[in-house]
């Protein structure tokens, strides 16, 4: 169930993440989904991996997700 575009992402992700973070989420989800083919928890694992990818570049500040300081990003 990889997402073809950011508009296909779940509404909660579209509503809360900036466009670039959505790109990161979608690409990470796509790769994780392919890597976990045959795993009964494929979709769950893919969402977790996608969120981890977003959190490497973005941090939640109040109700918004903002880009991490590049010196802090790992």
Range of the domain at 39: 13-62
Burial 7-29 (b: 16+ CB within 10 A, else e): eebeeebeeebeeebbebbbebb
If one compares 6 and 72, the residue with the highest pLDDT of the two is: 6
- Residue 5, in any domain of the structure: no
Domain count, the chain: 1
- Residue 74, in any domain of the structure: no
- pTM for the model stands at 0.88
- Residue 7, in any domain of the structure: no
Question: pLDDT tens for residues 7-45?
Answer: 999 999 999 999 999 999 999 999 999 999 999 999 999
- Residue 22, in any domain of the structure: yes
Name 16's Cβ contacts closer than 8 Å, sequence gap at least 6. Answer: 64, 65
**What is the CATH number for 40?**
1.10.1740.70
- Residue 39, in any domain of the structure: yes
- Residue 23, in any domain of the structure: yes
């Amino acid at each position: 169930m990889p997402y073809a575009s950011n508009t296909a992402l779940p509404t909660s992700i579209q509503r809360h993440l900036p466009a670039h973070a959505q790109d990161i989420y979608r690409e990470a989800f796509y790769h994780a989904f392919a890597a976990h083919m045959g795993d009964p928890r494929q979709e769950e694992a893919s969402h977790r991996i996608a969120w981890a990818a977003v959190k490497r570049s973005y941090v939640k500040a109040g109700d918004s997700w903002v880009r991490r300081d590049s010196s802090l990003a790992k």
